[in-house]
Amino acid sequence: MNKVFEVPQKLRFGALELTPAVTLAPMAGVTDTVFRRFIRNLGGCGLIMTEFTSSEGVIADDRRKKAGQKTVRRNSFNYLYYEQDEHPIVAQLFGSDPATLADAARVVEDLGFDGVDLNFGCPVKKVTTCNGGSGLLRDLPLIRQILEQVRAAVSIPFTCKFRTGWSDTEIVCCEVGRLAESCGLQGVALHGRTREQGYAGNANWDMIAELKRAVSIPVVGNGDVFSPEDAVRMFQHTGCDGVMIGRAAASNPWIFRQIQQYIATGEYDEPTEQDRYEMIRDYYQLLLNRGDRISGRVDGKMKQFATYFTRGVRNGTQLRKAIYRCGEPQEVIDTVERFFEEQLATEAA
């Protein structure tokens, strides 16, 4: 493909080759099987990842399953459920006990995932207080133990995602990257913020560039990529091997396709009102078909995504309010149909 911008188009984690080099970030409450398949269908995304999943929950549910016991509706296997058309797909785990994480990684491998990723980046207090997520960035010896035991437990590609450090005075991203490389991981992803920042302020892309210089394994950059232009700038600024997109994908699921158009031509298509209607309709239909495989209620998920998907819709505030008032999933579908019938009729007049 002729390109306007010379940026990586392939990303390799061991035997796993991904094209293009743009990935969907794991996001709690967002990247369930329905959203992942929705992104896959729109095109342009090289790799999708599960919601981050408790390693302890995986092991507990695996024991119940093997014992023939009934699991609760919101069990960890809903987080790890996927369809065959989602490949390549990586499961992300979190926890702080090396043996439990290793056992959970074995379950992930047995389930047929293309890779396993560990989360050392979540800034949420209830996770970090248990020494999970970015809480582990204050205990590098424990990170080493975790990486060594998980690496020994599985043969599938193994990566990890982390933040620059706990705070501006505790920056450890290069140390964690070198640990990952020495323990045999095939790649790392760095969110350019500290744990203290949460999602505030700006992501420090210079830290991604510094990590890239510090290791020889692939580095994926994450943080503040909200447009195709941002993606190209991240590639150019950091020299990273891949770009990971999180929050922007929820409000603009076309972003992956737009990035590929922009790299190839310097331009990209903006969604029409018809495109936005079809997006909402298709996502809600997928929810109805696979509502038993998500971690929450279908009507709740519809209302959650109405907040994301109505951005950019003409009179979107009215549609959001109407959806929030709905009681049943079918009522949401009918509301969306009526709204866009009127919108598109007005547009055509």
Catalytic residue among 45, 122, 173, 326: 122
30 and 283 Cβ atoms separated by less than 8 Å? no
H or E stretch covering 343: helix 329-348
> Cα–Cα distances in Å, from 134 out to 53, 165, 198, 329?
15, 8, 10, 36
Within 189-294, residue ranges assigned H as helices are 205-214, 228-238, 247-251, 255-265, 273-289
Distance CA 28, CA 136 (A): 19
Three-class SS state of 91: strand
> Cα–Cα distances in Å, from 92 out to 32, 79, 343?
12, 10, 40
- Residue 183 is a catalytic residue: no
Residue entry with tokens 């969907």 = 24
> Cα–Cα distances in Å, from 143 out to 75, 170, 180?
26, 16, 9
Three-class SS state of 344: helix
* Distant-in-sequence, close-in-space partners of 68: CB < 8 Å, separation ≥ 6: none
117 and 26 Cβ atoms separated by less than 8 Å? yes
Distance CA 187, CA 15 (A): 12
The pairing of strands 89-94 and 48-49 is: parallel
Which residues are annotated as catalytic? 122
